[in-house]
Amino acid sequence: MLKKTFMFLITTLFLAGTVATLTGCNTIAGAGQDIEKGGKAIKDEANEKK
């Protein structure tokens, strides 16, 4: 139950971050870099929770 809740939270945060990132960047290259940074942040947060 806790694992499902955590995964739902991570997924929701990732999708919200992706939308915010895409609306905030001016180029496709910038979008790629922003998405990469967002993925790294999520990965780092998940590693902290282990």
Cα–chain center distance at 33: 12
d(CA 41, CA 1): 24
Rg (CA), the chain: 12
The pTM assigned to this predicted structure is 0.43
Q: Supply the pLDDT for residue 12.
A: 92
Residue 48 has pLDDT above 70, yes or no: yes
Residue 33: per-residue pLDDT: 82
Q: What's the pLDDT tens digit per position in 2-43? A: 788 888 989 999 998 888 777 765 666 677 788 899 889 988
